[in-house]
Structure 1
Amino acid sequence: MSPLELHTRALELAVGVIGTVQPEQLVLPTPCAGWDLRRLLEHVVGQQRGFAAAARGAGPDRALFRDVPVHGDPAGAFRRSAEELTAAFSAASAGAGEPRVWLPEIRDDGPFPLRHAIGFHLLDTLVHAWDVAAALGAPAGIAAAVDGDGPLAAALLRLAGLVPAGPVDRAPGRAFRECREPADGAGPFDRALALLGRDPAWGPPAR
C-alpha cells in the first residue's frame, strides 16, 4: 500500500472520530496540555491547510499553518480541509519525479521529499484523532481500528519510532513529550503513543 493510500485511510478514520464532535463539546480538555477540543481542532485544520499549501508548492511560510477557526461546525471544517489536503497530495504525487515541500514548522533549513511530508501528516492525523477520541471519552475505537489494519499500524509504529527523542526535542511546549514505557501486551497503537510520550490511559482531569 502506498504512503498516499495509507494517509487517505488515516484521514478516513479521523473523519469518523471528528465527525461525532458536537459544538458544546469544544470546551472539553484534551491530552494536549492546555488545549481544549476547540484549540486542538483549530490547530489540526490549520495544519491540514498548511500541508496542502506546501504540496501545491508554497515556500517556507509559517503563516500558512496558522490555526483556523472551526466556529460551530468542527466536523465540517475538518472534512473540508481533509479533502483539500487529499487533493493536494494526490496532485503532487501524480507529477514526474518526487516534489520537495517546505514544512517550516518542522524544519526551516530546507524542503522534505513529498513522501516524508505524507508520513509526517499521517502520524499527526492518527495521534490527534486519538486525542479527540480521548477527549470524548472513547479512545479505544480508533486504536482498535488501526491495530486491525496491519499496513497502517506498521506505518504508524515505524513513523513514531523515527521522531527525534532527545531532551531538546521532547522539552515542554514541543509536539511530543518524553517516551513512555508501554504496558505489557500493548498493541501497535498504544506502543506508538508511548513512543510519542502520550499516556494511552489518559483521562480528563477530575473536577
Structure 2
Amino acid sequence: MPINELRILDALATSASLDLVDRVEPADLAKPTPCEAWTLHGLLAHMTTQHLGFAAAAGGDGDPENWKLVPLGDDPAATYRDSVNKVLNAFAADDIADRKFPLPEFTTEFTFTAEQAISFHFVDYVVHSWDVARTLGLPLTFQREVLDAAARIAEIVPDGQSRLAPGAAFGPAVAADGLSGLDRIVALLGRSPSWAPNGSR
C-alpha cells in the first residue's frame, strides 16, 4: 500500500479513537474492556504509551524505555490527545518512507520499514477504537477504505500459540465465518464481536 494512503488511513483510525476518548467520564475509567487484563484506565495508558513508542521509533529511537507505561495524570483525555498529536506528527515527516523503525516491543533483532510499522499501528487503532466504543456503549463507524485495508492486514497477522504468550498484541482469533466489516476484523484479532461490558460475550 502506498505510504501516503496508509498514513491517511492510520490518521482516520487514530482520530476515531481520540473522538471516543474525548467522551470518557471519570467514572468510565474503572469499566471493564474487551481486553480482559485492562480496565478502561489501563487500556488508555497502553494506547497512550503505544503512540509515544511509535513516535519515538519514527525518529529512530529504539530505547525500550519509550514503551513503558506512562501515567495518564489528572486529565487522561488531554494526555491521550497529546500522544495522538505526537504520533501523527511523527508519521507525517516528509522522508518517513525512507526510515527504519526500531520496535523493541516487537523484536530487537531487526528494524521495520515505515509501511510495516504504520500498518501495525493502523490496525491496532482500528481495534482499540472498537475496544473503547464497546466499553462506553457508543457506536463506531469507519469508512469502507479503512475497513478494507484493516481486514487485509488482520488476515495476515499470524495466529496460533504466539497469541497466548504474555503481552501478546492480540488474543487467539475467534470464529469469523459469516462476519464482515469491523466485526470480522476484531474477531480475526481475538475479540468477540458480541462483547458487552455487562459480561455478555
TM-score (norm 2): 0.91
Task: Return the letter of the residue paired with 1:191.
Answer: R
Return the alpha-carbon distance in structure 2 between the equivalents of residues 129 and 67 of structure 1. Answer: 19
Contact map agreement 2:97 2:115 (CA 8 A) in 1: no
Contact map agreement 1:54 1:102 (CA 8 A) in 2: yes
Contact map agreement 2:58 2:96 (CA 8 A) in 1: no
- 1:40 matches 2:33: no
Give the one of 2, 5, 24 matched to 1:2. Answer: 5
Return the alpha-carbon distance in structure 1 between the equivalents of residues 112 and 131 of structure 2. Answer: 26
Report the identity percentage.
Answer: 36
* Residue of structure 2 in register with 1:65 after alignment: 67
The unaligned stretches of length 5 or more in structure 2 are: none
Give the one of 168, 180, 190 matched to 1:197. Answer: 190
* Residue of structure 1 in register with 2:115 after alignment: 115
Contact map agreement 1:177 1:198 (CA 8 A) in 2: yes
For residues 79-158 of structure 1, the aligned pairs below 5 Å read 79-91=81-93, 94-95=94-95, 98-138=98-138, 141-142=139-140, 145-146=141-142, 149-158=143-152
Return the alpha-carbon distance in structure 2 between the equivalents of residues 51 and 136 of structure 1. Answer: 26
Match of 2:129, SS?
helix
Shift of 1:119: 0.7
* Residue of structure 2 in register with 1:165 after alignment: 159
Are residues 181 and 87 of structure 1, via their aligned partners in 2, closer, same or farther at CA, if it must alter by over 3 Å? same
Return the alpha-carbon distance in structure 2 between the equivalents of residues 162 and 13 of structure 1. Answer: 23
Contact map agreement 1:51 1:103 (CA 8 A) in 2: yes
- 1:11 matches 2:5: no
Match of 1:29, SS?
coil
The unaligned stretches of length 5 or more in structure 1 are: none
Shift of 1:34: 2.1
* Residue of structure 2 in register with 1:51 after alignment: 54
Task: Return the letter of the residue paired with 1:101.
Answer: F
* Residue of structure 1 in register with 2:33 after alignment: 30
Contact map agreement 1:29 1:204 (CA 8 A) in 2: yes
Over the aligned positions, Cα root-mean-square deviation in angstroms equals 1.6
Match of 2:92, SS?
helix
Shift of 1:97: 5.6
Provide, for residues 164-188 of structure 1, a one-character-per-residue CA deviation record: whole Å limited to 9, x for no partner.
1122x2115322122111263x322
Task: Return the letter of the residue paired with 1:74.
Answer: P
TM-score (norm 1): 0.88
Number of residue pairs aligned between Structure 1 and Structure 2: 195
